[in-house]
Amino acid sequence: MTLETFFEKFNLFADAPDAVPKVRELVLQLAVHGTLVEQKLHDGDADQLLSAISREREAQAAKLRTPLEPALWDGDGNPFQIPSTWAWTQLGNVALQIQYGYTASADPSATDIRMLRITDIQNNRVDWASVPGCRIESDEAEKYLLTANDILIARTGGTIGKSFIVPDAPVKSVFASYLIRITPPRSIEARYLKIFLESALYWTQLRSMSTGTGQPNVNGQALGRLEIPLPPLAEQKRIVAKVDELMALCDRLEAQQQERETRHAALARASLARFADAPTLANLPFLFHPSYSIPPADLRKSILTLAVQGKLVPQDPNDEPAEELLSRLERELPRLAKQQGVRSPKNVPPLAAENYPHDIPESWRWSRIGNLALVIDYGTSKKSHGDSSKVPVYRMGNIVGGRLLDENLKYVDADIDDLPGLYLKTDDILFNRTNSYELVGKTSIFTGRDDTATFASYLIRIRLPSAFLFPPFYSVAMNAQYFRQTQIEPEVVQQCGQANFNGTKLSLTVVPVPPFAEQRRIAAKVDQLMALVDQLEAQLTQSRTTAEKLLEAVVAELTAQE
């Protein structure tokens, strides 16, 4: 496959992660490997070019403020094979000078001469109007004034190695001390050097020679030792032109991708809105239509939102209304708690209409969890271990995406004081009370057998009377966006980098109570739709994986042709 064909067929690889950046890397790799444009015999060779550079260096030595000694290099251990007309050399051999910038503070009140800093260089561009001035004597400024085609390299910090080529008509400016200037000779195409300074070959070498752990840095001597493949000057110009052409094409591909993503996002919002207005099985295609490319995470949030708003399944007038259900539960809850040997939450304040999070169907009611639960309690704080013959302990890391995972479990002895009281029962709900801010409130439901597992102290267990309330529905409700936004976030306490939410606050949180039969229908519908989302996510993952493998194969084919 040719590079041109590769670009023509780019839509086959577009779904691969970071597809366009990888194409840019490929272009730069082919450029410095000598396979991007053809070699021409009348171009001469790089040895002649190096001789011309040496003569230019000697002729200008007296003018240079910091004359550069040629780099010492034996030429052994070349990174890869290059065309016969090229030569391996070092950056110090193709630069007139390598110079550190001027040490001074920026002075916005000064206007005659500006001070270009690392932070002024963003995405290979400089807004010269925002570059601050500095105070510097005119004779000193002569040493540091920037000229067209100077190349600046950041020498320290998080931007180490970032480069910038000074445009044809910069304002009168010097450069700051955290930058190093490379002055190319006239017999070198400065933009070819810039291509090298963006290639993987450059970055690999730079990382190996940078020093420091907390604040990595590179010095001018190290930059001078960078190994660079040097083509004849005429070929450098052709390489630059070809790279410009292909990078412009990459820009267009990137813009097309962004436009497609924006269009799909708009379609996704429209399809979600349409489904919310008429959430029936007949309208499900609008939710899962492949043309809309709704992110699976957004689909899951929308499904949960519709579930707790009463829009996911139709109401049945034959169902016992929630008001009657709650009246029966209020009478029976003390007896059920005594029967199970637990103490249900006490002193739960009444719920007023201003505490209702959103509208619900007429047959539903709102209630505090403390008025519904048989028990709300913390897990065990006993030290756990890795002996899998003991009792498994679910911890906060086992709750992922509303599911309880049987992975990376720890264990406790069966004879600890907390057992049997903290054994989990089927359909117990687990709530993560302590974690980072965004993870507090993770909720899942235990579906294992009674009295086979327990839970850690950073979790809260909620047990509901299953004869009146269907626990999977309440796991759905506690994972819905409304619950986090209106019930958890206003009450979360942050201390020492951790966020906390206690059992008392949890007992006061508000959940919708549909008729019991509808609770079961909603939970079943949520399971059905979440399974479809899982399938969609798997298909998207497979599509991206296929595109990534195809991209890798084509890149390997193109690089193998070198």
Spell out the SS3 assignment of 446-512: CCCCCCCCEEECCEEEEECCCCCCCHHHHHHHHHCHHHHHHHHHHHCEEECCEEECCHHHHHHCEEE
Among 191, 212, 231, the domain boundary falls at 231
Pairing of strands 87-90, 151-154: unpaired
* CATH code: domain of residue 113: 3.90.220.20
Residue 495 phi/psi, 5° resolution? Answer: -145, 130
Predicted pLDDT at 2: 61
Average pLDDT, the chain: 86
For the chain, what percent of residues have pLDDT higher than 70? Answer: 84
Q: Residue 449, Cα to own-chain centre: how many angstroms?
A: 38
> How far is residue 294's CA from residue 540's CA, in Å, rounded to a whole number?
11
CB 313 within 8 Å of CB 522? yes
Q: Which residue has the tokens 């699976």?
A: 296
**Of 240, 234, 226, 241, nearest in space to 52 by CA:** 234
Structure tokens that stand for 18 in this block: 């970071």
Residue 499 phi/psi, 5° resolution? Answer: -110, 145
Q: Looking at the structure, tell me whether residues 171 and 117 fall in a common domain.
A: yes
CB 553 within 8 Å of CB 19? no
What is the mean predicted confidence (pLDDT) over 281-301? 65
Q: Looking at the structure, tell me whether residues 187 and 199 fall in a common domain.
A: yes
39 belongs to a structural domain = no
Q: Residue 219, Cα to own-chain centre: how many angstroms?
A: 32
What is the mean predicted confidence (pLDDT) over 326-336? 92
253 belongs to a structural domain = yes
Q: Which residue has the tokens 């829009």?
A: 311
Per-residue pLDDT band at 268 (split at 50, 70, 90): low
Q: Looking at the structure, tell me whether residues 396 and 467 fall in a common domain.
A: yes
177 belongs to a structural domain = yes
105 belongs to a structural domain = yes
Identity of the amino acid at 172 = K
Predicted pLDDT at 394: 97
- Kindly report, residue by residue over 139-167, the tens digit of the pLDDT: 888 889 999 999 999 998 889 999 999 98
CB 526 within 8 Å of CB 533? no
Torsion of CA 231, 234, 236, 241, to 10 degrees: -150
Residue 67, pLDDT above cutoff 70: no
Q: Looking at the structure, tell me whether residues 310 and 371 fall in a common domain.
A: no
Domain extent for 4: 1-26+236-315+515-562
Q: Looking at the structure, tell me whether residues 266 and 341 fall in a common domain.
A: no
Residue 80, pLDDT above cutoff 60: yes
Helices and strands: H and E segment counts in the chain: 15, 24
Predicted pLDDT at 18: 79
Q: Looking at the structure, tell me whether residues 8 and 67 fall in a common domain.
A: no
Indicate the helix (H) or strand (E) that contains 403.
Answer: strand 403-404
Among 207, 231, 255, the domain boundary falls at 231
37 belongs to a structural domain = no
Lowest mean pLDDT among 5-19, 281-295, 480-494, 528-542: 281-295
Neighbouring-strand partners of residue 366: 512
Q: Looking at the structure, tell me whether residues 71 and 102 fall in a common domain.
A: yes
> How far is residue 442's CA from residue 6's CA, in Å, rounded to a whole number?
45
Among 171, 199, 231, the domain boundary falls at 231
Q: Looking at the structure, tell me whether residues 112 and 53 fall in a common domain.
A: yes
- Kindly report, residue by residue over 358-398, the tens digit of the pLDDT: 999 999 999 999 999 999 999 999 999 999 999 999 999 99
21 belongs to a structural domain = yes
What is the mean predicted confidence (pLDDT) over 213-223? 84
Residue 213 DSSP code: S
Q: Looking at the structure, tell me whether residues 547 and 475 fall in a common domain.
A: no
Lowest mean pLDDT among 183-187, 391-395, 494-498: 494-498
Q: Which residue has the tokens 């992660």?
A: 17
Indicate the helix (H) or strand (E) that contains 320.
Answer: none
CA distances from 102 to 143, 146, 173, 190 (A): 9, 11, 11, 22
Beta strands in 83-122 (DSSP E): 87-90, 97-100, 114-116, 121-122
The three state secondary structure string of 59-72 is HHCCCCCCCCCCCC
Predicted pLDDT at 265: 66
533 belongs to a structural domain = yes
What is the mean predicted confidence (pLDDT) over 268-279? 61
**Of 153, 145, 243, 154, nearest in space to 191 by CA:** 243
Q: Looking at the structure, tell me whether residues 86 and 156 fall in a common domain.
A: yes
Identity of the amino acid at 405 = L
User: Integer distance in angstroms from the first to the last C-alpha of the chain?
Assistant: 12
Q: Looking at the structure, tell me whether residues 2 and 136 fall in a common domain.
A: no
34 belongs to a structural domain = no
- Domain count of the chain? 3
Q: Looking at the structure, tell me whether residues 262 and 284 fall in a common domain.
A: yes
Give the residue, 452 or 245, on which the prediction is more confident.
452
**What is the CB neighbour count within 10 angstroms for residue 403?**
14
Give the residue, 12 or 414, on which the prediction is more confident.
414
